[in-house]
Amino acid sequence: MGRDVALYDSYFSDDVTNEPLVRGGDSVAMVNIVLTNSGTTTVYAATDTPSLRALTTDHPYAQGLENITPMSDRQMTDHGVWYHSPRSPHPGYSSPFPLEPGQSCAMGFALPLTLGHEWLFFPSAYVYDTPDARIGNQVMFDEQTHTFT
């Protein structure tokens, strides 16, 4: 996890005030969601896995807040957060890539702390039984709460 500031105003705005939900200079927390194959067989993970729906506990909006913060690739790299594509143990593979027992992959997200410090996380992942399977299985994980201090 890392902390930084948004570089500029977000493209997402409040429905009532029409003001940006995130302004340049707002404090943000950057997190990685890590998926580990704890099974005994190889599974295949989609390139957009793991995913996250995140909202503050007093969230007044219908959508999650996980993709509204404008951050640069450099900021994400500086903090070790994987933002645009997952960190795969097999970077040369296309989707879906193998995830052998004990291996992990991760996806990073920037969360605007100006909207709240207590967050609800709803992580999920798409996994496939074989590398050529057309339809994967969505795995939903337990809701988690985290307070950023």
Helix, strand, coil abundance in the chain, percent, nearest 5: 5, 40, 55
What is the arithmetic mean of pLDDT over 18-31?
94
Whole-number Å distance between alpha carbons of 39 and 74? 34
The answer on pLDDT for 42 being more than 80 is yes
Q: CB neighbours of 19 closer than 8 A, spacing ≥ 6?
A: 13
Higher pLDDT, residue 23 or 81: 23
Percent of the chain with pLDDT over 70: 92
The answer on pLDDT for 33 being more than 80 is yes
Q: Which CATH number fits domain 2-147: 3.10.620, 2.60.40, 2.40.10, 1.10.3300?
A: 2.60.40
What is the predicted pLDDT for the residue at 79? 84
What is the predicted pLDDT for the residue at 86? 52
The answer on pLDDT for 87 being more than 80 is no
* Domain ranges within the chain, ordered by starting residue: 2-147
Best-predicted range by mean pLDDT among 32-36, 55-59, 64-68, 118-122? 118-122
What is the predicted pLDDT for the residue at 90? 55
Please state whether the predicted TM-score (pTM) of the whole model is above 0.85.
no
The answer on pLDDT for 117 being more than 60 is yes
- Collapsing DSSP to helix, strand or coil, 75 comes out as helix
pLDDT band at 4; cut points 50, 70, 90: very high
The DSSP secondary-structure symbol of 19 reads -
Helix (H) or strand (E) holding 128: strand 118-128
* Amino acid type, 22: V
